[in-house]
């Protein structure tokens, strides 16, 4: 059970980072909303991590500078 849970969180993080790097979002909250809209059921759990929110925000800022 834990392995499947870890795999789903890893997939969600990967998708979140892809969205952040697209340059279409301005921060972690926007990414969270996009993931919820896509149907990721574990979004709330993943976004409890301060590290993940910070990493997503940093990727969003970097992507905006590139685009």
10-61 tens-digit pLDDT: 999 999 999 999 999 999 999 999 999 999 999 999 999 999 999 999 999 9
Confidence of residue 1 (pLDDT cuts 50, 70, 90): very low
> In 3-state terms, what secondary structure has residue 47?
coil
DSSP state of 40: -
Q: What is the pLDDT of residue 64?
A: 83
Angstrom distances, CA of residue 14 to CA of 17, 41, 42:
5, 15, 13
| 13 vs 19: CA distance, rounded Å | 10
CA distance 62 to 46: 21
End-to-end CA distance of the chain: 40
Whole-prediction pTM value? 0.87
């Amino acid at each position: 059970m834990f392995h499947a849970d870890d795999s789903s969180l890893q997939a969600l993080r990967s998708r979140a980072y892809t969205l952040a790097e697209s340059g279409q979002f301005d921060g972690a909250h926007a990414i969270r909303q996009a993931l919820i809209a896509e149907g990721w059921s574990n979004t709330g759990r993943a976004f409890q991590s301060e590290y993940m929110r910070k990493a997503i925000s940093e990727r969003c800022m970097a992507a905006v500078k590139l685009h």
